[in-house]
Structure 1
Amino acid sequence: MDDRDGQKRNHDDQYPSNEKCPVPNVADSKKTFRTALPQILATSAKNILLLGYGMTLGFPTIVIPSLQPGHGNVTDMREKDTFSLTEEQISWFSSINLICVPLGCLVSGAITQPLGRKRAMIMVNFPFIVAWILFHYSVNVGMLYASLVLTGFGGGIMEAPVLTYVAEITQPHLRGMLSATSSTCVILGILIQFLMGTVLAWRTIAAINVIFPLVAIIAICFVPESPYWLIGHGRVADAEKSLCWLRGWVEPHEVQHELMQLVSSISAKNLSNKHCAPSVSSRPSCYSWRNYAKRTFVQPYCLVSAGFFFGHFAGMTTLQTYAVSIFAALGAPIDKYVATLYLGVVELAGALICVILVHWAGKRPLTFVSTVGNGLCYIVVAAYAYFYSSRNSYEWLPLTFLIASAFLSHVGIRLLPWILIGEVFPSEIRSVASGASGSVGYIFGFAANKTYFYMLNSMTLPGTFWFYGVVSLVGSVWFYFFLPETEGRTLLEIQEHFEGSRNLLKKGRLSSRVPEEWATANPALVPDTETHL
């Protein structure tokens, strides 16, 4: 231990700046995949939960046409539904789950902190199970609304554990890609619903969907708890086991360097408050309101909120929800359900491209391509709807550009805020701040869906699409001035940017850093801000 401490002091003397330098490697280049594999597996187990959540978002899209008077498809005739939805009820049905998500977000961080990321992710599956059963047996609009409330509330509770878990178990060179898989799995869940909706009745789909939260519970039971959370609750031995699993099923001595860094990054008062319970003499920093008045919370929160605003009001949210009716209104030359399926496919393709390119290109370039491209696509469709829709000419043009907009939006802007949430907030407020940020996203999503019919009635379809296009282009300008490049940066460097001691707008990403240099640099290694502010 003395020799190791001496080496650390020499290391610090040689590199006195805040820049991270190469540290002892946990594994050589032959073990790089083995080091990454457990992090991928742990993220994948969590992603099954997000897959099921994506199904709750795609489900209203296939139910709405079936319950509109005179719009049901042949598969739903066998269900013999005795009720239908009015336009006002449809506007609520498409958005009531989104407005309920913030309610879950309000308690998400408070639940995640004492229970842990793993147990919170297991617990959140139960509202989804009840909701799918309720969907299957629905006999009136009230039961549908109750099911949506459950899925929305469960989705809100899910925000803090799933977003913080990936940030706290992954290494910086994997963090961006693995964080992006979260949104990819949500989109995959939506696509699965679109696909099932073309061949099955919606009640049958609801019954099948029960399988996914059950599988998620089983998968999450086999992955370790976040080592950062374990150390914060005084369970250092358990954190060591967790790190051994996450770094390639290695021996304890191979993770000692990282473990010591983690322990030293957490204040003694948080270690003594194993359950993070507030008290007069020793109040943990995670509950201090002062942390939420600092620029290290306010600026990231505004950045993430802007990402959600431009993502939802750039048209993709309403297109995804009302795809069937939009394609029908524009006179798509193919079946409207098949067109909706294509929409889901390209959304998934765009998200996969984002997962692949975010590490190499960085977040800023992908965001610019996404917002500018999406804005131009909507402006073209708006022009077509205004000048040519009544002439029954160029019928492929709006379908092509709407599908292109779905692809471009998911390459960047739709995934951006979800990736940022896990890395822009300081460690001591990460759980609560993640839930609060996610709630804003769903409020914007609710507003975008709920106001769609009002905008359509007052601005017409071309005017609505022009509005979406302009919002997307304005977003590209806003991000140019305010979006830092966080890809390839440690969480400490990102925090220093929002503190004002570093400018990532100018420096950009660190393309010269290679994965081997990050072998022992866990992204959760963020010292308590009281030692830095």
Structure 2
Amino acid sequence: MILALKKIKVIVTIITISAQKMQIQGPNKHNRTSDDEGDLRDASSLLHPHSAVMASEKDIQETEIADAIVRDPLIDQVEKGKENNFMVYLSTCVAICGSYALGSCGGYSSPTQSAIREDLNLSLAEYSLFASILTFGAMIGAIASGTLADIFGRKGALRIGASFVTAGWLAIYFAQGPIPLDIGRLSTGFGMGVFSYVAPVFIAEIAPKHLRGALTAAHQLMICTGVSVAFILGTLLPWRVLALTGLIPCAVLLVGLFFVPESPRWLAKIGKYKEFEASLRKLRGKDADVSAEADEIQDYIETLQKLPKSKLYDLFQRRYLRSVTIGVGLMVCQQFGGINGISFYTSSIFESAGFSGDIGTILYAILQVVVTVLNLLFVDKVGRKPLILVSSVGLVAGCLLTAVSFYLKTYGIGVEAAPALAVTGILVYTAAFAAGMGAVPWIMMSEIFPINIKGAAGGLATLVNWFGAWTLSFTFNFLMTWSSYGTFILYAAVNLAGILFIIAMVPETKGRSLEQIQAAINT
């Protein structure tokens, strides 16, 4: 009876505290909340005396959290109400305008080839230079991206990338010959290289850990969208007008950057602690308690700053070797598994297999966008590693199906089945790539590098990515001439090696702060 009365008294105490918490206003709000939470913990131990004695410290903490949710839903609702991610979403939307611009640049040359050659009287060699010089510009931009982001900040680097892309599109629009055309293409390529590194890093550094994967994956989604829209508009608009449409995302980006905060982690790195706290509070909401997150970031930054200033060769120190190997290795898996060879020549692959190139290209573009959207929904629930493993298995299957298609056509065996196998193989490959390998390497690249080497390491990983894109697009036709089915068997072997690499080297980063991830890997 006495125990029952005690429990009733405890419950009354909890209800009283709940009512008081809902009425608290003014500067002492957070201090009063902390005291009340202590009372709630004391009440919990009275309600559950046996579990408090038997449980370990970790179990006690978990029990308190679970009990608080059950016994006081009003408190839970009030606490959740304090979290306001509006500025995080707005900042992400601004940053992925750069991702969309990247995709627009990449998708421009395919639908405009015949019109540009006819209007400017370009030879095939001159147009090939125009198309391929983009990747050289992107490699230069990738090399510079880390340094630009470290010196001028993430927002400053995005402005620089947008400025180069804008200048490039204007040069292409006004071009009357091959030289200004190539200069414009080189300039847009440089901006692409900057965007490809800075956009996902900026998003990862501003996002709370439970949203980081999905928001960073939006980078890849907007690249796919930019490419697809460029393909579609290229069939409807003159090539000069299509170039002008590339100015729109750059303009939105440049204007939008005035309304979003800088990366708090970069501000902490350069010692602007007042601006760091203001940025973090703006991102999390004015009523949010950011003290724990701010302390974690500052402690980690201070630990890194005690180390000697990093140089390029420091990337290969034992301390950082694992993170660099993971970041660069994932980019190798992404690019050398055949994606850019397949995407650049999708139409010709379908035609070679006896299927309509136009229909195949449309199916390719739609499927890529749809599956990338699904990736956004699952990357923070399923995790990075499971997605990229399933993706790699799908890449192997897609390559083998396509290889069988070309083998049948080459040797005249079951020729009627070749087109269906080719379409199935390419679409399986496309869906598998969009499901994980397209976005996850960029997500993990933005997560695993400590901020003191992030510029150099991220620049190296991005450079490897663009070098792989150029290598695959340059060698694809030569490989297809050598052996059509052998080309896809080779890509299948690379993707199989990628599966082994992921199993052995790649950690799971879902649900952990950047500081926790980096401390675990870089030891």
TM value normalised by structure 1: 0.78
Whether the 8 Å CA contact 1:38–1:246 is kept in 2: the answer is: yes
Q: Cα 1:53–1:423, aligned 2, differ >3 Å: closer, same or farther?
A: same
Is residue 47 of structure 2 the alignment partner of residue 47 of structure 1? no
Q: 1:425-444 to 2 correspondence within 5 Å?
A: 425-444=449-468
Q: Give the aligned residue type for 1:205.
A: L
SS state at 2:285 partner: coil
1:117 aligns to what? 154
Q: Give the aligned residue type for 2:516.
A: E
Is residue 402 of structure 2 the alignment partner of residue 381 of structure 1? yes
Q: Give the aligned residue type for 1:177.
A: A
Q: Cα 1:339–1:144, aligned 2, differ >3 Å: closer, same or farther?
A: farther
1:530 aligns to what? none
Deviating more after overlay: 441-450 vs 374-383: 374-383
SS state at 1:265 partner: helix
Whether the 8 Å CA contact 2:102–2:226 is kept in 1: the answer is: yes
Is residue 107 of structure 2 the alignment partner of residue 107 of structure 1? no
After superposition, the C-alpha distances for 1:349-408 in whole angstroms (9 at most, x for unaligned) are 221121111112112221122111122112112211221376762333322321221111
Match of 2:360 among 339, 353, 359: 339
1:396 aligns to what? 420
- Give the number of the structure whose residues are more often helix, by fraction: 2
1:405 aligns to what? 429
Q: Give the aligned residue type for 1:168.
A: E
Match of 1:369 among 390, 393, 400: 390
Is residue 195 of structure 2 the alignment partner of residue 171 of structure 1? no
Deviating more after overlay: 125-134 vs 293-302: 293-302
Q: Cα 1:260–1:485, aligned 2, differ >3 Å: closer, same or farther?
A: closer
1:188 aligns to what? 225
Q: Cα 1:411–1:393, aligned 2, differ >3 Å: closer, same or farther?
A: same
Deviating more after overlay: 439-448 vs 30-39: 30-39
Q: Distance in 2 between matches of 1:148 and 1:189?
A: 16
Q: Distance in 1 between matches of 2:157 and 2:98?
A: 11
Highest relative contact order (Cα 8 Å, sep 6+), 1 or 2? 1
1:529 aligns to what? none
Q: How many residues align?
A: 460
Q: Cα 1:93–1:456, aligned 2, differ >3 Å: closer, same or farther?
A: farther
1:293 aligns to what? 316
Q: Give the aligned residue type for 2:360.
A: A
Q: Distance in 2 between matches of 1:66 and 1:340?
A: 19
Q: Distance in 1 between matches of 2:170 and 2:358?
A: 25
Shift of 1:52: 0.8
Q: Give the aligned residue type for 1:229.
A: W
Q: 1:74-473 to 2 correspondence within 5 Å?
A: 81-86=119-124, 92-250=129-287, 254-267=289-302, 285-289=308-312, 291-333=314-356, 336-388=357-409, 393-394=416-417, 395-459=419-483, 461-473=484-496
Q: Distance in 1 between matches of 2:164 and 2:106?
A: 15
Whether the 8 Å CA contact 2:353–2:409 is kept in 1: the answer is: no
Whether the 8 Å CA contact 1:285–1:291 is kept in 2: the answer is: no
Whether the 8 Å CA contact 1:58–1:321 is kept in 2: the answer is: no
Q: Distance in 2 between matches of 1:285 and 1:107?
A: 22
Match of 2:107 among 45, 58, 61: 58
Shift of 1:225: 0.8
Whether the 8 Å CA contact 2:401–2:424 is kept in 1: the answer is: no
Q: Cα 1:496–1:155, aligned 2, differ >3 Å: closer, same or farther?
A: same
After superposition, the C-alpha distances for 1:382-440 in whole angstroms (9 at most, x for unaligned) are 21122137676233332232122111111111222111111111121122221221111
Shift of 1:198: 2.7
SS state at 2:337 partner: coil
Q: Give the aligned residue type for 1:41.
A: L
Q: Cα 1:496–1:257, aligned 2, differ >3 Å: closer, same or farther?
A: closer
Q: Cα 1:33–1:136, aligned 2, differ >3 Å: closer, same or farther?
A: farther
**Structure 2 residue runs without a partner (length 5+):** 1-27, 39-56, 59-63, 70-74
Whether the 8 Å CA contact 2:350–2:423 is kept in 1: the answer is: yes
